Structure 1
Amino acid sequence: MASKYLSDPQKRALAADTLTVFWGEWLDLRARIAQILATGLVSPLIYILAFGLGLGGAIDRAIDLPAGNSYLEFILPGMVALSSMTIGFGGTTFSICGERLFAKTFEELLLLPVHPLALFLGKVGAGIARGLMTASSVIVVALLATGNLGFLSPLFLLVLVLNCAVFAGLGTIVGLSVNSLESVGLYNNFLIVPMAFLGATFFDPQTLPLALKAIVYFLPLTYATIGLRAAVYLPLSEFPWYSIPVLLSFAIALSWVGMYKFAHQQD
């Protein structure tokens, strides 16, 4: 990452600048915590009711699940990943678009005497906060439904934070790239919605044919979902440890792209 080429004083300045950008975002977020929590809970609840409870009984009788005692338990970690992805991406994208296209305040941010990486990391930090807030609502539902404290384990939370970082980073880049809200809708329809259904949320990717498996394992949500699922239901010896470096690699790659976008952004 770019910070390894910086001196120690520069690294401290980068951290301070990142915190400053994040704090400016947090001042806006903290006034809308209830709204963010509610927004991120709607879609997962619909999926839980429709798939977990509606189809769950039939699926439980038809197949043996690789994790969890029921199909509802099987999809709950995926619902956490899904909610954090949706709000981490969408909330970050619309926040930047609002500043760029409507409030016209984004130019002030670009004029700050801070490193472009600090601008990107501050925005991503706010996206992570959004994702964690919405995911916490689903985690509460999962705890009430299963009583499994694995949803609060450090390993589960680590994978969740990495998932939030990946999609907040992607949302930041999209927010810097689009010129209208209609363009945001295109990214959502052709990227986020397909990933929600193909990212191993509702099925075990190991059961897929090789060609489809290659597509599914290209998606970052897949690694988040299987990691969260394993953190809750499987022993550490069976945890897919590769999911952590894969998600981290996605996050680092996006940080390079985001830093470049901020350094060359003209609004």
Structure 2
Amino acid sequence: MKSQALTSLSKTIIQRYSSSELKNILVDTLTIFWGEWLDLRARIAQIAATGLISPLIYIFAFGLGLGSTIDRSIEPSAGENYLQFILPGMVALSSMTISFGGTTFSICGDRLFTQTFEELLLLPVHPLALHLGKMLAGILRGVMTAASVILVAILFTGKIGSFLNPLFLSLLILNCAVFAGLGVIVGLKVKSLESVGLYNNFLIVPMSFLGGTFFDPSNLPGLLKVVVYCLPLTYTSIGLRAAAYLPLSQFPWYSIPILLIFAIALAWLGAYQFSHQQE
């Protein structure tokens, strides 16, 4: 049913836009992304290191500290020990945080401080291209930060193939797309930086702990399990964990179309918001 819904949604989008319109949207998307890249390229090291601190703290506190106690009592559902179990979750966590936060603050800075956002809205660019260009920049931010965490994970485990395989990287990019898309929408809506903090405290921080990064969601009681499986980060965490440690026969393939549906829905909302944005 989910794959059929995704196929139907894709056909609707293709029918709505002619080939020439799709080509123009692609060109405009790359143009917006290039403008973002010109700003990002001077801060690559800073961006890569920004989201590394929290995952490192969690790795040392939970993986090495609490993990030794947990390993004596239970066997993790994936990985050889609890440290290995949480490492894919740390990749998901870091990519979520920076994709969302970096995109949100970038748009807020343009809207509230530099006052350059009005110029962007005046460009003869399709609203969907505006969203996708900003989202691609958010994906790049998230991937650069996640690369730092992946390097740490490889150093701790020595398993290069577990963290550098096509399935793992595809899920990582999808996760970045979801939260960069969410960051675009929040960045367009908020009226101050304090509002960004509210979204972060009531949305991103709870998801960091409830999104399956530190535990196996399948072991939760019924009602809490329903809540946890409503969070997109949950599907990233369990998908990355399976891609890193489990055989393909045990991979939760449903996680890919679910994340893709989240990303497409947020792209539609973002394009709608851009088309109605007034500064």
Question: Deviation digits for residues 210-253 of structure 1, max 9, x if unmatched?
Answer: 11100000000000000000000000000000000000000011
1:22 maps to which of 26, 33, 49 = 33
**Mapping for residues 43-82 of structure 1, pairs under 5 Å:** 43-82=54-93
Question: What secondary structure is seen at the aligned counterpart in 1 of 2:138?
Answer: helix
Question: Deviation digits for residues 128-170 of structure 1, max 9, x if unmatched?
Answer: 0000000000000011111112100000000000000000000
Q: Does 1:101 align with 2:107?
A: no
1:110 counterpart residue number: 121
Report the count of equivalent residues. 267
Q: Does 1:244 align with 2:256?
A: yes
Question: What secondary structure is seen at the aligned counterpart in 2 of 1:75?
Answer: helix
Question: What secondary structure is seen at the aligned counterpart in 2 of 1:60?
Answer: helix
1:83 maps to which of 68, 72, 94 = 94
**Mapping for residues 53-202 of structure 1, pairs under 5 Å:** 53-148=64-159, 149-202=161-214
Deviation at 1:37, TM superposition (A): 1.0
- Equivalent position amino acid for 2:149 in 1: V
Return 5+ residue gaps in structure 2 as ranges.
1-9
Contact 1:3 1:11 in 2 (8 A): no
CA distance, structure 2, for counterparts of residue 256 and residue 8 of structure 1? 18
**Mapping for residues 181-260 of structure 1, pairs under 5 Å:** 181-260=193-272
Contact 2:79 2:245 in 1 (8 A): yes
| Dislocated runs of 4+, deviation >2 Å | none
Indicate the RMSD between aligned Cα atoms, in angstroms: 0.8
Contact 2:128 2:267 in 1 (8 A): yes
Percentage of pairs with the same residue? 73
Deviation at 1:3, TM superposition (A): 4.5
Question: What secondary structure is seen at the aligned counterpart in 1 of 2:52?
Answer: helix
Question: What secondary structure is seen at the aligned counterpart in 2 of 1:225?
Answer: helix
Question: Deviation digits for residues 36-64 of structure 1, max 9, x if unmatched?
Answer: 11111111000001000010100001111
CA distance, structure 1, for counterparts of residue 90 and residue 38 of structure 2? 28
Q: TM-score when scaled to structure 1?
A: 0.99
Return 5+ residue gaps in structure 1 as ranges.
none
